[in-house]
Amino acid sequence: MTGSKGLVLVVEDERAIADVQRLYLAREGFGVHVETDGNAGLAAARRMHPVAIVLDIGLPGLDGMAFCRALRDAGDWTPVLLVTARGEEADRILGLELGADDYLTKPFSPRELVARVKTVLRRAAAGPPTVLAAGGGRLTVDPDSRTVRRDGEPVELTATEFNLIAHLLRRPGRVFTREQLLAQVWGYPGYRDTRMVDVFVSQLRAKLGDASPIRTVRGVGYSATGPGV
């Protein structure tokens, strides 16, 4: 059953946790399919084309990191919400670097899970209709088609990476604090884990290379240069 808001794939080997996730997501109008093994979860993602994936890192068969890498290597940019155990900071950062859109740390409220899924879906669908540019036109960001090109060649970005670069380019020269970016791009006002912003900026710079318009303002946050810079 797909549900009125689309199908969410939950890949979680702790059945009690998976059952709670299924219950709360279903209450919000999502269809939910659960797999308890990484290999089976990846096969389900390829077969069922969910709108989002809730992915535990510590899975049997194929762990969450390998799952996420295989998904992105195949060109599948379905929003992924990682679920990690407390103390797995390195895993959370690696997961974001591999293309995950967000993460939750166990234990967490099932209501927060639902809110995070809704947020990554909103971010994936957001964007104004004008094409944004930087670096004398070397970099173009088209929110209408959600495509990015560097020197005419396409650049693959996650939904969150796309929304971050688009947000910065909409206000060239403006300096955003990390807290502002968390509130305005991620939709997490008051969220304290500003490290997540740094990780995504680092990923964007690596993908955009010398065409990256993102500038660090020491002690404050980040800004983007305009079209002619």
Range of the domain at 164: 132-224
Same domain, 71 and 142: no
Tell me, yes or no, whether 229 lies in a domain: no
- pLDDT, residue 148, reads 94
Same domain, 138 and 173: yes
The model's pLDDT over 86-125, given as tens digits with 9 standing for 90+, comes to: 556 677 777 777 778 888 888 889 999 999 999 888 877 7
At residue 228 the predicted structure's pLDDT band, cuts being 50, 70 and 90, is low
Tell me, yes or no, whether 2 lies in a domain: no
pLDDT for residue 129 is more than 50: no
For the chain, the straight-line distance linking the first and the last C-alpha, in angstroms and rounded, comes to 50
Same domain, 142 and 103: no
Tell me, yes or no, whether 158 lies in a domain: yes
Same domain, 34 and 72: yes
Q: In degrees rounded to 5, what are phi and psi of residue 214? A: -80, 130
Same domain, 117 and 165: no
- Final residue belonging to a domain, choices 101, 125, 149: 125
Encoding tokens for residue 123?
Answer: 């971010």
Same domain, 173 and 189: yes
Return the bridge partners of 65, or none: none
Question: What is the rounded CA–CA span in Å between residue 61 and residue 127?
Answer: 37
- CATH number where 173 lies: 1.10.10.10
Comparing CA positions, the residue from 32, 35, 13, 6 lying closest to residue 21 is 32
The model's pLDDT over 29-43, given as tens digits with 9 standing for 90+, comes to: 999 999 999 999 999
